[in-house]
Amino acid sequence: MDNRTSVARAQILNGIRRALRRDALSGQARQEAEARLAQPPRGPAVARANLQHADKVALFCQWAEANNATVARVAPDQVTGEVVSYLARNNLPAQAVVAPGADLDLFDWGSQTLLSLRKGRAEGSDPVSITGAFAGIAETGTLVMASGPDHPVTLNLLPDTHVVVLRESDIVGGYEDVWGRLRARYGKDGMPRTVIAITGPSRTGDIEQTIELGAHGPRRMHILVVRE
């Protein structure tokens, strides 16, 4: 952190402190705050997700489908074929923008000669995006996406259809498990700029309490849960 950033941060925090009518942190209070930041306490866990891993996977699939996503459980060598089949079943074009990370390179995309792929960030004209996921949460059927050069955030938001490849080993019980995994992978000073939790396709019920899919993001989400 350079000096200008440090000064600006101090000004912001001091303004908040004055608004709350709090004095500057004492030595003990500062130590307690720094200790909490260095070793964050774990929040409460939800009992329904306290399961054996196979049951967590099943619970994730159940909740994802309840939240209007579609789910296919596949072997690694079935991933690319399932993507093409899904697009065909839904009369979607056989073209997609793909997250540029190395994880998806493990699958045999070259075997699908009719599928046109482009790596990079999504544009408004892209009909389909294909990404991995940092984690899946069994508690609610939620996907967690960590942004970065290997996963531009536009892939989660712009295309009308979002296809997600999720490994069974990346399915956890609850939200607290995700924060632990994030800290372990990225470290205190290397966290992603954006962490997005996505529960099914975009939807709203603001107008006459009628659910409308695709309100502010993809209207379709297809999750490939890959057996390992």
The rounded distance, in Å, linking the Cα atoms of 28 and 13 is 18
Every domain of the chain with CATH number 3.40.50.10420 lies at: 47-226
Of the CATH numbers 3.40.50.10420, 3.30.300.30, 3.40.50.300, 3.20.20.100, which one belongs to the domain with range 47-226? 3.40.50.10420
pLDDT (tens place) for every residue of the chain, 228 residues total: 567 777 888 888 888 888 887 776 667 777 877 777 777 777 777 788 889 999 999 999 999 999 999 999 999 999 999 999 999 999 999 999 999 999 999 999 999 999 999 999 999 899 999 999 999 999 999 999 999 999 999 999 999 999 999 999 999 999 999 998 998 999 878 899 999 999 998 655 555 555 555 456 689 999 999 998
* Dihedral angle over CA of 141, 145, 146, 148, nearest 10: 170
pTM, entire model: 0.82
